[in-house]
Structure 1
Amino acid sequence: MTVHPLATPLSLPARPELTGGRPLGVLLLHGFSGSPASMKPWAHALAEKGYAVEVPRLPGHGTRWQDLNRVAWTDWYAEAERALDRLLASTDAVVVGALSMGGSVALRLAEERGADVAGIVLVNPFVSSTRRELKALPLLKLVVPSMKGVINDIKKPGQDEVGYPRLPLKGLAAVTDLWRAVVPDLPKVTQPLLYFRSSIDHVIDDSSSRTVLGAVSSRDVEERILTESYHVATIDNDAPRIFEESAEFVARVTAT
C-alpha cells in the first residue's frame, strides 16, 4: 500500500510557552475520500499558536479508492481515538476539529468520550443528506464498486485536497452506517461547538446543519457562514478566517 506523500499523517508538538504554560491539543479529522492534505495548513496555523496537533490518516484514504471499499466506519473512529489518546497523554485539554465526514467522527468522539473533548469545531460536516439515491445504496454497492467522485470542491484556484476521483460505494455505505450511530446520540453532545458552513457547497446539502444544530445539547453553539469557499473550506479562500477563529475558540474553551 502506497500512501500519497501529501496524505501522510501529521503530528506537531505543543509549545506551552505560547499557551499560558499549559500544553493544549487539537485533533483534526479529514473528510471522506479526502486526506490529511486538506487539514495540514490548519494544523500548522494552530501549531504556530502553540497547540499540539494530530492529523491522522483515516483508514482507506490517501492510497487508492478501492481501499475505501474495505473499511468500516469503526476503523475511522478507532484511528481517531488513537490520535485523541496520544494528545491526551501529553496535554491538559483537547479540542476536536473536523471537515465533512470527519465531522461525524468528531461528533461520535464527543458522544462517547465526552470528558476528553473540550470543544468541537466543524467545517461543513457531513452528517445527513437529502439525496434520494442514497436509499438505493444498500443494493447498488453490491453491483457497482464506484461512481464518479466529487473532489476539490474549492473556489480558490490551485488547491488540492488529494482526494479520490472515484466515489467508492461500499465506503459511502460505511458513512451512512456512521450516521445511524451518531445522529440518534446527538443530544449527548454538550461541548462548546463552533460550526462553519459554506453558503455554496457542491458536495453536501444544508440538512447536516439542521441535523446537528437542532439536536445537540450544547449551550455554547455558534454557526458561522463562509461566503468565499466551497466544500473543502480548510484550503479555500476562507481558510485564514477558520484558522484564526478556531484558535480563538480553542483558547477560550480550554481556559481554566
Structure 2
Amino acid sequence: MTRFWVNLVAGLLLTVGGLIAARTIGVQVAGLYESADGQLTWGALIAGIFVAGTICWWLLVGLSRQPTLLRGAIAGALSGVVSYPIVATVVAIFQRLPPGTGFGDRLLAIVEVSAFALATTGFAAMFVMAIAGAICALILRRLYPPLREASGLIVRLLRGLGALLGVLALVLLSVFVWLTLMPLGRGTLADSRTPGPAMSHAEAIATYDKILVEEAGLPLHPRCKSKLLTHGSRVAETIIFLHGVTNCPAQADELAPMLFELGYNVYVPRLPGHGEADQMTYALAPLTSEDYVATTEKAIEIGRGLGEEVVVMGLSAGGALTMWSGQNRADVQHTIAMAPFLGPNVVPPWANRAATNLLLLLPNMMLTWNPLEPLGPSDMDYAYPRVPTRALAQFMRIGEVVADNARTTPPAAQGLGVMVNEADYAVNNALARNIVELWRTHGRGVDLKVLPVSMRLLHDLIDPRQVDANTELVHKLLLEMLERRPR
C-alpha cells in the first residue's frame, strides 16, 4: 500500500501550482503571515492550498492508487475550487475579532469572501490547477504500484466528471469574456467639461443654502448634512472633500476644521443616498454613477464661487470621484485621491471590468462591510454597515471609464495627486496605480504618495471615530501633498 506521505508530497506540489496560479491571476497578498485585520497572506495562502490539495489528491488518487493524468487534473481543478473557502477560513482564524463575535458571524464572513473571489477568478484557478494536477501525476507515478486496469464504470465516471469540469470551466470563461467585452455605458461620464463663468461668492452661498433646505426634508443623521466652512468671502483656494461610500460628511469632522484654520474655504457635500438616520436603509440601491458625478460637479461649481482655485480631495469612493475630476475637469486646480475605490482587492485588475458588469447585471444584494460587526462600529452610527452590490459597481464603473479615457486623453486638471495605502485590504491599489501610469504617459506629473504596510493604516484614513484611526499622521502626510502641488 502506498504510504500516506505521498499524498503530502502531492499536496506540496499542488501548493506550488496554487502559488503560481495566485501570481498568474494577480491575487493581492499582504505579507508572509500577519493577518490581524483580515488580509490575505502568503502563510494563509500556502496553508489553505496545501490542505485542499492534500485532501483532494488523497480522495481522487491516493485511495484508488491510480495516478493517471485524468485523475491528477481533476484533483488539481477540484483543489483549486476548494482552496478558496479553506484559505478564507485560515485568514478568519487569525483575524482580530470584536468582542461577542459568534461562530455564525465568522462563518458568514468566510462564505461571502470565498464566494465572491471564486465567482470572479475561479475559472482561471481551475485551469492552472488542472495543469498542476496532471504534472503532479506524472511526477509521482513511480511512487505508486503498477497501474491496475480500472473498471469500465469507474473510467466512465471519471471521464464524465472531467468532461463536466471542462465544460464548466469553458462556460465560465465564455461568460467572463462576454462580461469583459460588454460596453460600460460610458455616456456623460466620459465627457470632459468646458469651464463656464464661475459663481460669485453670494451665489455659491445661496446654492449651498438650497441644498440645506432640501436636506432638511430628508431623514438624515444630525452629523450628516453637507458642511461648509467659509471665511465670509472668496479666498484664494477652496477645498472640496468627498466622503466614502456609506459614510457621510461626518467623516471630515477633524479634517475640515483643520483645513479651514489654514485659510481655505472648505466644502464637504453629502453624496446622494448617504447620511440617513436609519443605518439599514436601501437608499443607495437605485443610484447610478451619473448621480454621484452630478453631485461632484455641483460641488465644484460651488467651490469655484468660494475660491479663486479649487482643490478636490476624496477618500475611497470619494477618491474615485476625485480621479474622475482630475481626468475631466479643467477648472480644478489640483486633486488628491486617497485610497480610491476602483475595485475590491479580491478581484485582480484584469477581471475588474467583468466583475463590474456582473454586479450591474445581478440583482442588488446587501453586502455587510464586516460580517463580524454586522451593525458597524458603535461610535460611527452615521455610517451604513452594509452596501448594495450595485452601489459598489457604480464606483467601479467610474474607475473603468476614467481608465478608458486616460488611455487616449490627457487629464484635464492642472495638478494630480494619489495616496495609496499598501496596508489597505479593501481596495485594489493596482487599479489606481494603473491610472497614475496612464496619466504619466501623457507627460503629466503625478504626486504618488505610497503609505507602506509598516504604517498599518486602515482603509478609512480620515474618519476620527474609526477604531485605531491615526488621523494625526494622515493629516500631516496630506498637508505635505498640498504643499507639493503645482501653483
Compute the TM-score of the two structures, normalised by the length of structure 1.
0.83
- Larger of the two Rg values belongs to structure: 2
Conserved in 1, the CA contact under 8 Å of 2:235 and 2:264? Answer: no
Deviation at 1:251, TM superposition (A): 4.6
Deviation at 1:246, TM superposition (A): 2.9
Structure 2 residue aligned with 1:134, among 355, 360, 367?
355
Which residues of structure 2 form unaligned runs of 5+? 1-217
% identical equivalent positions: 24
Deviation at 1:159, TM superposition (A): 5.7
Which residues of structure 1 form unaligned runs of 5+? none
Structure 2: distance between partners of 1:29 and 1:181: 19
**Does 1:8 find its partner at 2:225?**
yes
Structure 2: distance between partners of 1:221 and 1:56: 25
Structure 2: distance between partners of 1:230 and 1:164: 17
> Does the residue aligned with 2:336 lie in a helix, a strand or coil?
strand
Change (3 A) 1:198 1:15: farther
Structure 2: distance between partners of 1:77 and 1:161: 26
Match of 2:52 in 1: none
Q: Which amino acid aligns with 2:461?
A: A
Change (3 A) 1:214 1:42: same
Structure 1 residues 47-196: aligned runs within 5 Å:
47-63=260-276, 64=278, 65-114=281-330, 116-129=331-344, 130-131=346-347, 134=355, 136-140=358-362, 142=363, 144-150=364-370, 160=380, 162-186=382-406, 188-189=410-411, 191-196=414-419
Moved more, 46-55 or 101-110: 101-110
Structure 1 residue aligned with 2:471, among 211, 232, 239?
239
Match of 1:222 in 2: 448
Deviation at 1:243, TM superposition (A): 2.3
Structure 1: distance between partners of 2:252 and 2:290: 21
> Does the residue aligned with 1:197 lie in a helix, a strand or coil?
strand
Q: CA RMSD in A?
A: 2.9
Deviation at 1:146, TM superposition (A): 1.3
Conserved in 2, the CA contact under 8 Å of 1:10 and 1:54? Answer: yes
> Does the residue aligned with 2:223 lie in a helix, a strand or coil?
helix
Conserved in 2, the CA contact under 8 Å of 1:9 and 1:55? Answer: yes
Change (3 A) 1:123 1:86: same
**Does 1:199 find its partner at 2:427?**
no
Question: Greater helix share, 1 or 2?
Answer: 2
Deviation at 1:161, TM superposition (A): 7.9
**1 or 2 for the larger relative contact order (CA 8 Å, sep ≥6)?**
1
Structure 1: distance between partners of 2:397 and 2:319: 14
Match of 2:93 in 1: none
> Does the residue aligned with 1:62 lie in a helix, a strand or coil?
coil
Conserved in 2, the CA contact under 8 Å of 1:35 and 1:161? Answer: no
Structure 1: distance between partners of 2:427 and 2:476: 24
Runs of at least 4 residues off by over 6 Å? none
Structure 1: distance between partners of 2:421 and 2:460: 9
Conserved in 1, the CA contact under 8 Å of 2:248 and 2:274? Answer: yes
Deviation at 1:197, TM superposition (A): 2.4
Structure 2: distance between partners of 1:185 and 1:70: 26
Question: Greater strand share, 1 or 2?
Answer: 1
CA deviation digits over 1:67-112, x for unaligned, max 9? 1012111111111111111111121111111100111111212222
Change (3 A) 1:159 1:221: farther
